[in-house]
Amino acid sequence: MSFLQNYLSNAWQPKSGAVATLFDPVTGQPIATAGGPAEGLAEGFAFARTQGTTALQAMTYGQRASLLGDILKVLQANRDAYYDIALANSGTTKADSAVDIEGAAFTLGYYAKLGATLGDARILTDGSAAILSKDQLFQSQHILCPIRGIALFINAFNFPAWGLWEKAAPALLSGVPVVIKPATVTAWLTHRMVADVIAAGILPAGALSIVCGSSAGLLDALQPFDVLSFTGSADTAALIRAHPAVARHSVRANIEADSLNSAILGMDGAPGTPVFDLYVNELVREMTTKSGQRCTAIRRAMVPVQYFDAVAEAVGAKLAQISVGNPRNPEVRMGSLVSREQRDNVQAGIAKLETEAAILYDGSKQAMIDADPAIAACVAPTLLGARDAEQGALVHEHEVFGPVSTLLGYRDSAHAVSLAHRGLGSLVVSVFSDDHAWMAQAGYELAGSHGRVHMVSSDVGKTQTGHGNVMPASIHGGPGRAGGGEELGGLRALGFYHRRAALQGSSATLQQLAHAAKNWLV
């Protein structure tokens, strides 16, 4: 078995007593171990702040973009090993592993190309200079300066590859060293990727560190000018925000938490229309991709009440074709959850939703393929339904993080929008319709409580990128319950790793910035 060592102060740390064991979620076999509380956190963070920051920020944006391109080559060279690890550690089929692994590669490549457009710039200016004096000589120029601290990433278990690189790519491009703390249960893939990049000698000392196993002491080691990005539960997010070091040092925190995402079928989406079929296909895909373990998955499926039965029947027919079990078997289309603990949480969540919604499709009646139900963390897809969505409360409040969605009936457009808002802030809502005027208006009305509004009409049915797919050109995050954070969005992602400052002085002084500056492009 592999022991997942910590990497701090530019060195792999000695093995400590193993206190966490990682298991194959299908067979139950132990596959790796991780240690307890990391030693030398304060020293490791300090090393990154000094050595890593100095080396990275001595480069231009274009040079740092080139580093991202080199990292991408390393990941591509080791792709087969990553798929093997994902299968063993996350229990995912090859197609579902690709969502994570290829998504990570795509995002890295995107930021490598985008960063190259910044060329030899060392400074980002924000807008034009403002005149502060009558003779117009004394002016103010806003600039964006990379932070002088580290970026600490505390990530969730569902995307050990993409979750790392979608954060690390804009951080490193900004010139900010990264410390990654992956969720222990699926940390093997993150650890292997980091080890491969370190072995390749691409990044300067202190630019990339990893802490596996216990998270004890991580937040205590934060200092002023550090930033923190967390993906996980709302309860843990609340503890992070209230942590003394975060509050005392005003550590900038980006949070992605719970999200009861919605999909709305427009009134024009009657059975037999292209929009109806697009909606059904998307709902099934979102319920089953990565066994529903995506923060962007559709949890609430809203349809006109007169189409409720037709949608339930169509979705159930497609779910019946989803074979569940050991992803090593080529007949399996959906693998397992990441652990028995998650399986138990999903089963409990289904039981909770059943108190106010009926089960419309119960996949548990089908036998698992090559998987022992007493050992494997497999859960079959389940579709619940509430014809009168107004009466329910739990369906708008409790997220079941697995292959589970609830079909909800709505009366009219205003009712559909109000139901979506009851999620109290979500990462994404999708709208399916061929009524472009209505969809545009609905998109505007939904934007206030959602980070992304994904609008699908039949003319883009084959080219739309998917409700749950996070594209690096669009922001990822959401208000309220979803955490209030914001990631990606092209060059907007760099904003989290920069500080805005106003430089005031003679126009002649400010003009000296021009040769090293590039205007902020967002």
Residues 54-77 pLDDT 10s: 999 999 999 999 999 999 999 999
Residues 109 and 196 in one domain: yes
| pLDDT greater than 80 at residue 109 | yes
Does residue 145 carry a catalytic annotation? no
Residue 480 belongs to some domain of the structure:
no
Euclidean distance between CA atoms 237 and 241, whole angstroms: 6
Tell me what the mean pLDDT of segment 180-193 comes to: 97
Residues 273 and 207 in one domain: no
Which DSSP category does 174 fall into? H
| pLDDT greater than 90 at residue 16 | no
Residues 332 and 424 in one domain: yes
Residues 448-465 pLDDT 10s: 999 999 999 999 999 999
For the chain, report the end-to-end CA distance as a whole number of angstroms.
47
| pLDDT greater than 70 at residue 522 | no
| pLDDT greater than 90 at residue 513 | no
Euclidean distance between CA atoms 175 and 389, whole angstroms: 48
Residues 123-151 pLDDT 10s: 899 999 999 999 999 999 999 999 999 99
- Give the pLDDT band of residue 521 (cuts 50, 70, 90): low
Residues 358-395 pLDDT 10s: 999 999 888 899 999 999 999 999 999 999 888 889 99
Tell me what the mean pLDDT of segment 8-22 comes to: 89
Q: Kindly write down the DSSP assignment for every residue of 129-151, as one continuous string.
A: PEE-STTS-EEEEEEEEE-SS-E
How many angstroms from the chain centroid is the CA of residue 71? 20
Residues 34 and 182 in one domain: yes
Residues 180 and 315 in one domain: no
Residues 311 and 459 in one domain: yes
Residues 151-182 pLDDT 10s: 999 999 999 999 999 999 999 999 999 999 99
Q: Which residues contact 212 (CB under 8 A, 6 or more apart)?
A: 4, 5, 6, 34, 35, 181, 182, 184, 187, 190, 191
Number of domains in the chain: 2
CATH number reported for the structural domain that contains residue 235 in this entry:
3.40.605.10
Residue 213 belongs to some domain of the structure:
yes
Task: Report pLDDT for 416.
Answer: 96
Nearest alpha carbon to residue 385 among 402, 413, 364, 410: 410
- Computed over every residue of the chain, the mean pLDDT equals 95
Does residue 256 carry a catalytic annotation? yes
Task: Report pLDDT for 389.
Answer: 87
Residues 451 and 309 in one domain: yes
Residues 282-326 pLDDT 10s: 999 999 999 999 999 999 999 999 999 999 999 999 999 999 999
Task: Report pLDDT for 520.
Answer: 66
Residue 352 belongs to some domain of the structure:
yes
Q: Point out the catalytic residue in the list 166, 286, 295, 378.
A: 295
Nearest alpha carbon to residue 493 among 206, 99, 102, 168: 168
Residues 207-231 pLDDT 10s: 999 999 888 899 999 999 999 999 9
Residues 233-286 pLDDT 10s: 888 999 999 999 999 999 999 999 989 999 999 999 999 999 999 999 999 999
Q: Which domain holds residue 431?
A: 262-473
| pLDDT greater than 80 at residue 33 | yes
Task: Report pLDDT for 467.
Answer: 97
Residues 164 and 21 in one domain: yes
3-state secondary structure of 80: helix
3-state secondary structure of 184: helix
3-state secondary structure of 211: coil
CATH number reported for the structural domain that contains residue 329 in this entry:
3.40.309.10
Residues 389-412 pLDDT 10s: 888 899 999 999 999 999 999 999
Q: Point out the catalytic residue in the list 166, 212, 256, 378.
A: 256
Residues 398 and 312 in one domain: yes
Q: Please report which helix (H) or strand (E) contains residue 360, including its range.
A: strand 358-362
